[in-house]
Chain A
Amino acid sequence: MQSKLKWHRVTFSYDGYFEMKPSSYALHEGDFTLFFGPNGAGKTTFFKIGMGLLSPASGQVLLEEKPLNTYRTAEIAQRIAYLEQEIHYLFPFTVEEIVLMGRFPHTQSHFWDRKEDLEIAAWAMEITGTLRFAKRSIFQLSGGEKRKVEIARAICQKPKILFLDEPTTFLDIKQKNELFELLMKLNQEERITIGLISHQLETARRYVRSAVFIQNGQIEASGQASDLLADNQICQFFNFTLSSGIHP
């Protein structure tokens, strides 16, 4: 089966204080994969290498079977969208303006928005339930609403792959569940391949299909979510024991 995105023995080092050991993994069309592990293990680095935001020291990334470094920045952005852990907004852009930024890699125009772009933005806001506050300033939204706007911006890129880096950090339980429901919908109905970094293992295992455990700059385990995210397996990964067996 053809892979959408493939990391082939990639390594990386941040000026010597962090090292990513040779790691390989492949995402296929329709995957919904959780990347988990301790903080500082290299999950974000792995994502960034996968989308060309960082160049690997050795090894190779293949996007749709072709080397990533043969793509231009905009060509990668047409295929992969990325949600940072936290976005700090400087100016009171409206929701619609932010979502429209997702069309940037597709437009040749430096200035105008095409009718097509406006339609796709409307579609993205519809799907994410953000259309009703399209004209509001991003400063007026709650954490959960902001996240949905950012997802709308990301899918406005019409990506094949969506990477999200701890998207639930500032959300309450209800917002968290809504977010996962939305991701599942995008995965199943829009056929977007999703890679997700999260510490919300309990919630995530109800939705994701596969999982990757990263520790000390290395992929330690990968496979079916049901296997990797079982209680006893998690305890083993993170090296602790559960007294009651209810909640990690």
Chain B
Amino acid sequence: MQKSTSRKKIIVFGLLALLACLSLAIGVFFGSTSQDWSTAEGPFIILNLRLPRGLLALLVGMALSVAGAVFQALLRNPLADPHLLGVSAGGALGVVLGSGFLLTGTLAFSIPVLSSLGSLIAVVIVYRLSLRKGALSIYTLLLIGVMLNSFFVSIIVFLQSLVRADELMTVLFWLLGNLSFANYPRLAVITAILTATLVLLMLQTKKMNILSLGETTAQSLGVSVERTKKIVFILAALLTGMAVSVSGMIGFVGLVVPHLTRLLLGSDYRTLLPASALLGGSVLVCSDVLARLLIAPQELPVGVITSFLGVPFFIYFLKQREAKRVF
């Protein structure tokens, strides 16, 4: 019995990896102009525009899906997503605040720095306010996070009404999700952070499984609950802040992909995290292709695509499964 389960898991993993490669190929070879190696500017467009952009989409999709899956276990809430706790809004606020003081030309380059700074400050505030006698209270964390999120968004909207129109467009476009700021040095940094975070999270997966049964039961099973919650929160916040800093607030991937993965492979976080990463990466690469093509030569914010396609797709799956009482 055990054997057939693990064989099924291996097959699904293989398919997911294949899907990720396939999406990346689609991302590289489909665009507003058809390109291949034989045309004059083909290699340049493929190597310096489409490939880094596809890779960025892949990495961001991975980071958001993993962060989403982790937040769902940590907050004991299947509806949790990476943007829930104000980490992303903090990053966005950093960008909007910074854009008020910067020249338009430098904005695109300084966005990651401003965003990381904003996210970091938001994480520290949420974390500090959620500590009670040294323990991280999940209810408080959820409440403070959601409140702070609204608070940041209100400031963002207020500031947006003050900045110049052209800057407003840059910032707004970035806020809704934008993968066009890809370059190789940036990709290298993201790959390093993502790999390190993912490895550290994989070491917490057994504990995350148990933590989803509730803190008392988890502690009675020998899990050091407080330490696990803190480690996991910091790592998921790091992933989120990083994803937002290079791509804005791409919605829905972090919520939907973990659930889709659960339908495919079950709830065990040991398989859920890597599988969510592969699926989330593929989903975002494909969404980005659509975002580039649908109204070409204009571009849509990729967040529009993920939400627009994600919602009906997800509801369909949910209804399918509900009938079998699995989900």
A118: min CB distance to chain B, Å: 6
Are the CB atoms of A87 and B217 closer together than 8 Å? yes
The answer for the CA separation of A73 and B223 in the assembled complex, in Å, is: 7
Are the CB atoms of A53 and B222 closer together than 8 Å? no
Are the CB atoms of B221 and A105 closer together than 8 Å? yes
Most chain A beta-carbon neighbours within 10 Å: one of B205, B216, B217, B222: B222
Are the CB atoms of B221 and A94 closer together than 8 Å? no
0/1 interface trace, chain B 202-240, chain A, CB 8 Å (1 if under) = 111111011011101101111110000000000000000
The answer for the CA separation of A102 and B216 in the assembled complex, in Å, is: 14
B160: min CB distance to chain A, Å: 37
Are the CB atoms of A73 and B222 closer together than 8 Å? yes
Which residues of chain A (82-97) have a CB below 8 Å from chain B? Answer: 82, 84, 87-94, 97
A71: min CB distance to chain B, Å: 10
Q: Known contacts A87-B217, A92-B267, A111-B270; decide if A140 and B223 are in contact (CB<8 Å).
A: no
Measured between beta carbons, the chain A residues less than 8 angstroms from B206 are 101, 104, 110-111
B206: min CB distance to chain A, Å: 6
Are the CB atoms of A81 and B220 closer together than 8 Å? yes
A127: min CB distance to chain B, Å: 17
B325 near A: Cβ within 8 Å?
yes
B189 near A: Cβ within 8 Å?
no
A182 near B: Cβ within 8 Å?
no
0/1 interface trace, chain B 253-276, chain A, CB 8 Å (1 if under) = 000000000100011101000000
Are the CB atoms of B266 and A93 closer together than 8 Å? yes
Measured between beta carbons, the chain B residues less than 8 angstroms from A81 are 220
A5 near B: Cβ within 8 Å?
no
The answer for the CA separation of A102 and B213 in the assembled complex, in Å, is: 12
User: Which one, A131-139, A208-216, A238-246, is touching chain B?
Assistant: A131-139
Are the CB atoms of A87 and B214 closer together than 8 Å? yes
Are the CB atoms of B202 and A91 closer together than 8 Å? no
A128 near B: Cβ within 8 Å?
no
Name B2's contact: one of A74, A101, A102, A118 (CB within 8 Å): A118
The answer for the CA separation of A93 and B222 in the assembled complex, in Å, is: 20
Name A53's contact: one of B202, B203, B216, B267 (CB within 8 Å): B216
Q: Known contacts A78-B222, A134-B1; decide if A97 and B217 are in contact (CB<8 Å).
A: no
Are the CB atoms of A110 and B203 closer together than 8 Å? yes
The answer for the CA separation of A75 and B222 in the assembled complex, in Å, is: 7
Name B266's contact: one of A80, A90, A97 (CB within 8 Å): A97
A157 near B: Cβ within 8 Å?
yes
A51 near B: Cβ within 8 Å?
yes
Q: Known contacts A53-B219, A84-B216, A92-B267; decide if A137 and B326 are in contact (CB<8 Å).
A: yes
Are the CB atoms of A91 and B262 closer together than 8 Å? yes
A76 near B: Cβ within 8 Å?
yes
Main secondary structure of the interface of A (DSSP, over half): mixed
Q: Known contacts A92-B326, A135-B1; decide if A101 and B222 are in contact (CB<8 Å).
A: no
Which residues of chain B (1-25) have a CB below 8 Å from chain A? Answer: 1-2, 5
B269: min CB distance to chain A, Å: 9
Are the CB atoms of B325 and A140 closer together than 8 Å? yes
B305 near A: Cβ within 8 Å?
no
The answer for the CA separation of A137 and B267 in the assembled complex, in Å, is: 10
The answer for the CA separation of A139 and B205 in the assembled complex, in Å, is: 21
B44: min CB distance to chain A, Å: 43
The answer for the CA separation of A60 and B213 in the assembled complex, in Å, is: 29
Measured between beta carbons, the chain A residues less than 8 angstroms from B212 are 89-91, 93
Are the CB atoms of B209 and A97 closer together than 8 Å? yes
Residue of B whose beta carbon sits closest to that of A74: B222
Residue of B whose beta carbon sits closest to that of A89: B213
Residue of B whose beta carbon sits closest to that of A76: B222
Q: Known contacts A84-B217, A104-B206; decide if A139 and B326 are in contact (CB<8 Å).
A: yes
Q: A97-B266, A102-B221 are in contact. List 4 more A-B contacts (CB 8 A).
A: A82-B216, A91-B78, A111-B203, A139-B325
Q: Can you identify 15 A-B contacts, CB atoms within 8 angstroms?
A: A73-B222, A73-B223, A73-B224, A82-B217, A82-B220, A88-B214, A89-B212, A91-B73, A92-B327, A93-B267, A98-B213, A101-B210, A110-B205, A110-B206, A111-B270
CB-based closest 10 A-B pairs: A77-B222, A105-B222, A74-B222, A91-B267, A82-B220, A110-B203, A90-B212, A93-B267, A73-B222, A101-B210
